[in-house]
């Protein structure tokens, strides 16, 4: 059984779903420390000919707080700002209505909503609409110990995986630590190759938040893009 483990990020890029659909179980790594200015709390859309960053507002928290402990700050109007930014950027694109119908409920304030719950809710909803049937679990519910590679290996064993599929970006530290190699646990490294889709301009700009594709081609079009990947 193949497993992948990823932090729940905000509006992740298409490659996140490409990895998710290629494994049997996908674990949200929500028991790690929040990192400032990371994809955990922000992502990019394309607006008025340039990248625009959408950033989540958080309540005050300790530097050591985990993703499943940090709470969204709804005293700020960041959700409305994100909706307005998406409308201004994509109102003339073919998938706009479908994209807004998808994202609007997620950007509706909920009392004391945790960052991990918010991001995972968006990701799981999008995966369902893309027809991705991969089982999902949360690392925070497992109580696995260890640091970095040791923690990942413990999660793989907890879910009964026989192979770990890792993003290529983790390769250097995983091979340096050698934890999986010492355990004889098979690892494959996954790299997503972006496939162009109509964005309404040229040249194609890859690695945007996945909602860029939804607003341009809808979930059916995004599913076709993933199928070609």
- Asked if 27 contacts 144 with a C-beta cutoff of 8 angstroms, the reply is no
pLDDT at 37: 82
Q: At 59, phi and psi to the nearest 5?
A: -70, 165
Measured CA angle at 125 (ends 132, 30), to 5 deg: 95
According to the model, what pLDDT value does residue 229 have? 66
Average pLDDT for runs of 10 along the chain of length 229: 98 98 98 92 95 97 92 96 98 98 97 97 98 98 95 98 96 96 98 95 95 98 90
DSSP state of 66: B
């Amino acid at each position: 059984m193949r497993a992948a483990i990823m932090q729940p990020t905000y509006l992740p890029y298409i490659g996140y779903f490409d990895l998710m659909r290629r494994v049997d179980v996908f674990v949200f790594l929500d028991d790690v420390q929040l990192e400032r200015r990371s994809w955990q709390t922000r992502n990019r859309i394309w607006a008025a000919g340039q990248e625009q960053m959408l950033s989540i507002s958080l309540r005050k928290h300790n530097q050591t707080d985990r993703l499943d402990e940090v709470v969204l700050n709804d005293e700020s109007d960041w959700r409305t700002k994100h909706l307005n930014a998406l409308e201004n950027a994509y109102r003339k694109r073919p998938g706009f209505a479908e994209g807004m119908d998808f994202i609007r409920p997620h950007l509706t304030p909920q009392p004391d909503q945790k960052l991990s719950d918010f991001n995972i809710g968006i990701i799981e909803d999008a995966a369902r609409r893309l027809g991705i049937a991969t089982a999902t679990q949360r690392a925070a519910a497992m109580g696995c110990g260890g640091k970095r590679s040791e923690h990942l290996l413990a999660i793989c064993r907890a879910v009964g995986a026989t192979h770990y599929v890792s993003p290529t970006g983790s390769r250097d530290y995983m091979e340096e630590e050698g934890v999986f190699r010492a355990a004889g646990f098979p690892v494959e490294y996954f790299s997503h190759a972006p496939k162009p889709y109509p964005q309404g301009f040229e040249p194609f700009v890859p690695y945007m938040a996945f909602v860029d594709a939804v607003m341009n081609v809808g979930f059916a079009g995004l599913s076709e893009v993933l199928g070609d990947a």
